[in-house]
Amino acid sequence: MPPLLPSTWLQLQRSVRFGDTDAAGVMHFYQLLRWCHEAYEESLESFGLPAASVFPRPEWAGDSPAVALPIVYCQAEFRRPLLTGDLLHISLRPEALGPEAFEVRYSFEREGQPVAHGLTRHLAIAASGRQPCALPEGIRRWLEASGLGEGVRPL
């Protein structure tokens, strides 16, 4: 049974690590999109969807999900430089875009101040034929449950 409050799977945190920075002394830009995807994975897991039910695995490890969810678009906006050791709070806002697609918006805050935003847009496709298809049932539940707690979501 999934947790009842979106805050448990839509409010995450992480620290900036030394390897995320570049010679300007601050986070190198594309690392933010890695953090977005890792937050998305952590959110699904906290909601109760194990990785093996969403992401492909090698044949010898068992069946992969029938539906893949590749990213077809992403963007990020950088407001403040991020330093090694900075603790970031990440708020996710997943939303369905019709029956075959969804997007996730990610807000990053440090000490209550917005520092960056990210967005990933995903299309459901059949893992074999790669034609668009309906979103898997688990993802639909996650999207729906995520929309129920509107009031608690920071923007």
For its own copies, the binding residues (CB under 8 A) are 15, 17-19, 21-26, 28-30, 33-34, 37-38, 41-42, 45, 50-52, 55-61, 68, 70-79, 81, 83-85, 120, 127-130
- As a dihedral over the C-alpha atoms of residue 133, residue 139, residue 141, residue 146, rounded to 10 degrees, the angle is -130
Residue partners of 40: CB distance under 8 A and separation at least 6: 92, 104, 120
Classify 115 in phi/psi space as left (phi over 0), alpha (psi -120 to 50) or beta: alpha
Q: How far is the CB of 150 from its own copies (least distance, A)?
A: 26
CA distance readout (Å), 147 to 20, 35, 37, 70: 31, 22, 19, 22
63 is catalytic: no
Q: Looking at beta carbons only, is 52 or 152 nearer to its own copies?
A: 52
Tell me which of 20, 22, 63, 86 is the catalytic residue.
Answer: 22
Q: Looking at beta carbons only, is 18 or 151 nearer to its own copies?
A: 18
Q: How far is the CB of 110 from its own copies (least distance, A)?
A: 13
Bridge partners of 108, per DSSP, are 90, 116
Q: Looking at beta carbons only, is 38 or 95 nearer to its own copies?
A: 38
Q: How far is the CB of 142 from its own copies (least distance, A)?
A: 15
Q: How far is the CB of 116 from its own copies (least distance, A)?
A: 10
Cα–Cα distance measured from residue 128 to residue 121, given in angstroms and rounded to the nearest whole number: 21
Q: Looking at beta carbons only, is 127 or 147 nearer to its own copies?
A: 127
CA distance readout (Å), 67 to 50, 57, 127, 136, 146: 15, 12, 5, 7, 21
Which active-site residues does the annotation give?
Answer: 22
